[in-house]
Amino acid sequence: MFSWAIAALALAASSSAASISSAAAGISSPHIHARSQVMNDTGLRYVQNSGVCETTPGVNQVSGYVDVGQNQSMWFWFFEARENPENAPFTIWVQGGPGCSSMIGLFQENGPCTVNADNETVYNPYSWNNASNIIYVDQPIGTGFSYGTDTANSTVAAAPPVWTLFQMLFETGLFSNYSSREIILGTESYGGHYGPEFVTYFNQQNSLIESGAIQGVPIKITAMLINNGFYDPYLQNNAALNFSTYAPGYGQLVSDEVLANISNALYMPGGCNDLELQCYAAGNLETSASDDICYQALVYCADYVVTASIGDRDEYDLRQGPNQTFPPEYYVNYLQETSVGQKIGAEVPYAECDAVPYYAMWNTGDNAKTLLPQLSELVNSGLRVLLWHGDADIVCNWLGGLSVAQNLIWYGNETFNATPMTNITVNGKTVAAVQNAYNFTFARVYGSGHEVAAFIPEGALAIFRQVIAYEPLHSV
């Protein structure tokens, strides 16, 4: 049985007991508890070097919980960089959904291991922790291994608990040396909402810290990658019709009759486009007064545009049938094993995508609200941003992503729109068509579904390396 010994822990940055590197790799430490000296209702408990997933000698890992509020325990799993961890950047990964676990990204996409049909972990040579220290966070509360009272009924409400989690982590000697690194945010799908809002909120909090209005550790995001993101429903709902009419490289996805119905649902008076514009005019993310109006837009557009455009195909990969699901879900059974949960410090059974946080946001119409203004402001600020889309994904298809990229309001808009797409290769294989302009890149990833790194792991790692090195995407 796993030892659940409890030890008191000072929060000073100099505490050698809290240093990640102080524990021998592969040897599990006791479950350690700490309380924040700054953040109310905030505490930390974790396990070091459980030996689960990352098996590279000398590479450390930490998994556990931060209590980000009363009855709110948020799960994280951190992996040290395999290469030059003392100087490598710090990457934050949050999954979409809303309500889907970041263990999806960890085990199916870009983490140190995958899980096979025999319920065994398999070393991933293309893990993103080759190039960066990386932490996976299950948020909002109720997602994955996180548990407690979920108060995040909108993208805006989801940001403060994540900020609180990193305030606690960076306050401790365990993670304090990462707060001054280059900090990257990676996300996907509903991350098209999360990413722009989280970075915007972090920037606002940083300003309050700098002015002395609040205490805390600045969290300065220097680059953001959004994979198959859902950013702006007006633009992306219209792209759903275009993509289903002729998905480039794949052809027409639904019948002419269905296409006509989608077109009517979009453009008729009182239809999807009108409802979306009413949602935007109602205040969008600034006020709850927009919730009812946006909910009406969400339900109508979901039923008559998005769902209709998918038809009987796999929404995440138009090439797959019901018995061809990729990437496989083996990791779910693995994480649900009691012995695995005990090793990593999980306190509740694992749930991949929970309905409670999903419907908390659905019921406020959050899905119908746009993050285009925030995304525009961030790109215009000079933040390094990559929007990349697998071209076989339907629900967040690349034509919609390109439409968002073309409609960003920023200093490089004209240059970006005048830049032709150019193919790039990784070790001789064409992986994507890209548009680079200044600090911003859009990429159509060939032959990939919704979870890009699962389909092209080598190419995704190469692209990730270029983004964190602030390079325009290019062939390698």
Q: Which of 31, 193, 389, 450 is catalytic?
A: 450
Catalytic option among 67, 73, 393, 448? 393
The Cα angle at residue 152 between residues 210 and 187, in degrees rounded to 5: 70
Residue 193 annotated as catalytic = no
CB 221 within 8 A of CB 258: no
* Measured distance CA(347)–CA(261) in Å, rounded: 48
CA–centroid distance for 367 within its chain: 16
Would you call 389 a catalytic residue per the annotation?
Answer: no
CA distance 288 to 283: 8
As beta bridge partners, residue 187 has 94, 226
Catalytic residue (choose from 28, 102, 189, 403): 189
3-state SS class at 7: coil
Amino acid at 160: P
CB atoms within 10 A of CB 26: 16
Residue 68 corresponds to which tokens in the numbers above? Answer: 């980000």
DSSP conformation class of 144: B
In this structure, are residues 80 and 112 in contact, taking their beta carbons and an 8 Å threshold? no
Pairing mode, strands 43-48 and 32-35: antiparallel
Q: Which of 142, 221, 161, 176 is nearest to 383 (CA)?
A: 221
Determine whether 393 is an active site residue: yes
> What is the spatial distance between Cα 217 and Cα 37, in angstroms, rounded to a whole number?
13
Report the distance separating Cα 369 and Cα 361, nearest Å.
11
Q: What is the DSSP string of 8-64?
A: -----TT-GGG-GGGSPTT-PPP-EEEE-SSSTT-EEEEEE---SS--STT--EEEE
Tokens of 179: 């707060």
Look at phi and psi of residue 41 and say left if phi exceeds 0, alpha if psi is from -120 to 50, else beta.
Answer: left
Q: Is the peptide bond before 248 cis (omega within 30 degrees of 0)?
A: no
> Which of the residues are catalytic?
189, 393, 450
